[in-house]
Amino acid sequence: MNLIAADGEVWRKHRRVMGPAFNGKLYDLVWKETLDTYREMVSAEGWLGKSSVEIPAVQRLTFKPPRASNGRFTIQEALQIVTERNLLLSVLPKWARLRIPFFGMRRTMEAFDLMTEFMHSQVQERKREIHTKGEEDLESDVFTMLVRANEDEGSKLKLEDDELVSYALDFIDQKFKPHADIKIGNVWSLLFAGHETTAHTLAATIGHLAVHEVIQADVHKHIIDVIGDDPQPSPESYSKLEKVLAVFYEALRLYPAGHILIREASEDTVLDIPKPHGQEGNITIPVEKGVQVSLNFFRVGQSSNLYLPLKVIVDMVGVQYNPRYFDEPEKFKPSRWCGVPAESEIFSAFSIGARACLGRKFAIVESICFLTMLLRDYKVEPLLLPNETRDQWAKRVLDAKLVITLGIKDVPVRLVSRK
Ligand code: HEM
């Protein structure tokens, strides 16, 4: 069980353990870490002193987690392999995983081992700190909170070892028969929830700014107005950078990383939903307790008034492209977010209500900081193929790609130094 998968009382327990870690102190830390990460990236990529650099896929940068290595490959590579491969692994019995000579299976298993070792070493380090440091000297980052809850013998909020760092995703047993052994501790679930989603959205933001020169110039001016050439802008700048937030929100609306949400009716109920945009009246759908609910409709025939509910999922792409809420929904128009209050439900890509994304502000602070620094220092241009126009680039690149989360295809760009 983990926070994302749990329901009812178990969910409440996990949320009570993790919720307090998502506070102002954490967001200041996220801001500072992101500044350091940005600087490290510029230096490690060898961009210093160059007037421009070409990046065949900007995802190569936005997907990079912290550096660490076991000599075979880095945590960066391991995490990428793990996120790409965990579904493939789940449909192979354990014994077959090391024996199957193709699909880079050995490398995949090594990546899992490295990630697991890394997680356990982090846990051990946090445990040492918990036992040796005083209360006031302990960090209040999410990882520390989770390990403390794991150490909290006798407490109602104790997290079991399984709930901390375990990982098993097996849908096939040793004899190739279907079964379900799923254990994804909170640390893994946070990694999956936070890493790919943010990385995809950053890539989509950069891709759209590359072809929307006027919008990019306006955002750049705004950044200069707010932080000037300060090499270490303070976390307080965050709340003033609303145009950077608007481009991030708009990219996330176009590519909602959490593209499906599963909901189960906890009691018999009736959904009363407006007909598609431009049509009068509502559709009423009875939903029985236990049914998994969809807000997506399938119209029977061209003109009939019969709608069949597809009772499977909440279709987040449908919500974000609904012309009832967004004019010209296919267009990249960040200005639609200007002046929208933070608590408005119109921005729903992190979901809304009790089960909304716990990492929303984490993701936003991190992304605003990264985009602000990148766009202040570099102009982003599309990296065109020979004889390709910008419009052709946009048609080729600005399209969706689905792995576990929804994202954008590889975004090739040129960064031109503004210094
Ligand atoms: C752009 C980045 C992100 C997007 C678009 C996003 C989107 C979402 C969505 C749509 C949900 C609801 C899922 C559902 O109800 O089935 C969710 C839940 C959640 N997200 Fe995020 N997320 C992002 C980043 C993060 C980050 C950085 C973290 C952690 C550091 C995080 C942690 C979580 C957690 C723990 C939940 C489950 C909350 C609960 O059920 O109580 N997310 N996210």
Which CATH number does the domain housing residue 169 bear? 1.10.630.10
Does the pLDDT of residue 301 top 50, yes or no? no
Residue 91 has a pLDDT of 63
Containing structural domain, residue 396: 8-417
Residue 272 has a pLDDT of 84
3 three-class SS:
coil
- Residue nearest (by alpha carbon) to ligand 1 atom 9: 350
Looking at per-residue confidence, does 402 or 24 come out higher?
A: 24
Atom of ligand 1 nearest to the CA of 316: 10
Mean pLDDT, residues 170-189: 68
158 lines ligand 1 (CB under 6 A): no
- Residue nearest (by alpha carbon) to ligand 1 atom 30: 359
Distance, first Cα to last Cα, the chain: 50
261 lines ligand 1 (CB under 6 A): yes
Does residue 77 lie within any of the structural domains?
yes
Which has the minimum average pLDDT: 15-24, 163-172, 308-317? 308-317
Q: How many domains, in total, are found in the chain?
A: 1
3 lines ligand 1 (CB under 6 A): yes
Does residue 391 lie within any of the structural domains?
yes
Does residue 1 lie within any of the structural domains?
no
Atom of ligand 1 nearest to the CA of 405: 5
At 111, the pLDDT band (50, 70, 90 cuts) reads confident
The letter for the amino acid at 348 is S
Q: Which pair of structure tokens corresponds to residue 227? A: 């932080």
357 is in an annotated binding site: yes
258 lines ligand 1 (CB under 6 A): yes
Distance of CA 357 to the CA centre of its chain: 10
In angstroms, what is the span from residue 406 Cα to ligand 1's centroid? 13
Q: Is 199 exposed, middle or buried (0-12, 13-18, 19+ CB in 10 A)?
A: buried
- Residue nearest (by alpha carbon) to ligand 1 atom 24: 194
Please check whether residue 374 is in contact with residue 187, taking contact to mean a CB–CB distance below 8 angstroms.
Answer: no
Please check whether residue 319 is in contact with residue 348, taking contact to mean a CB–CB distance below 8 angstroms.
Answer: yes
Does residue 3 lie within any of the structural domains?
no
Number of H helices, E strands in the chain: 14, 15
Does the pLDDT of residue 51 top 90, yes or no? yes
What pTM was estimated for this model as a whole?
0.86
Does residue 2 lie within any of the structural domains?
no
Q: What is the pLDDT of residues 204-260, one digit of tens each?
A: 999 999 999 999 999 999 999 999 999 999 999 999 999 999 999 999 999 999 887
